[in-house]
Structure 1
Amino acid sequence: MIVPLLQHLCQLLYDSSFGTAIRESDYAFSIIESVHVLSITLLVGSISVLDLRMLGAVLREVPVTKLARSVFPLTWSGFAISVVSGFLLFWAEAAKNYTNPAFRIKVILLLLVGLNPLIFHSSIYRRVSEWEFQHRSPWRARTAALVSLLLWSGIIIAGRAIAYF
């Protein structure tokens, strides 16, 4: 019952005048897509700096909480712009994306990447004061960082592959 409803909603978005306007415009889709790519760069770039710090690859002398406070405004800005621009891109091609395997993989990876910080912040990060000055974070923090980098890489690859399916 949910599957036909989702497919119907996707078709409604695709057939809407707004979705058609984005899709058929000489510039709108390209501009929105460019904004989406740039916002993902901001989002993933800022997250990657923190992940790489927790892996001990960069900025080892900077406390984790100080770095987190510095990058989170960029992360949240990139996230907000990515969500809006991504939804507009989806709206323009919702019916096509519904059956696109790369899009489905991207959605699954987005759900997983959303769970990663929830688990991280509700577990190992609660005790960050005990390890934030260490050059090498605890194995659970390093694991969360590695999972984050892998998931974001997968999201970027799947997002790019959407155009080819």
Structure 2
Amino acid sequence: MTANDDTPDNYEHRERPRDGRNRFVRSMDNVRRDAEAAAYWAEHRCTYQEIADRFGYYDRSQAWRGIQAAKRDVALPAVTKLRQTEAEQLDALYLMALEIIERNHVVVSHGRIVYGDDGKPLPDDGPRLQAIQTALRIRDQYQNLHGLKQPAKVEHTGGVKFEIVGVDPQDLT
């Protein structure tokens, strides 16, 4: 057999399609095989090597990964629904914040509108600024929900210098 054969034994050695983040994309055949392997493993509680041999995985670690993928697949619809619900709630809150941002707010003191020298109500930017901050926090939550944030990278250069105060360096030798 060559590395290009479509047999399960050689599957892991073939070039597989990748997504935009350079991660492997699972085919429907893999999803089915992983689900069958997970069901068999749950029923028989055999070794991962036995799963690999029975279902055509390259080795026991690939069998383990397949079973883990099947577990994620089972939870995926519930997680997707939860994310959708959360996103809808965040969208509604964001629209409310935008409505507040777009309104005209006037300064009120002791229950009365405050007017300027020109006779027009004085604008109050406080509610608008609070709504902007709220909208930004909602966007932050939306980004967290969908995993859009990149982890912060911290670079450190240089070394650490220790200084012992009150001790003569000659006494240390």
Q: TM-score if structure 1 supplies the norm length?
A: 0.32
Larger proportion of helix: 1
Larger radius of gyration: 2
Higher relative contact order (CA 8 A, sep 6+): 1
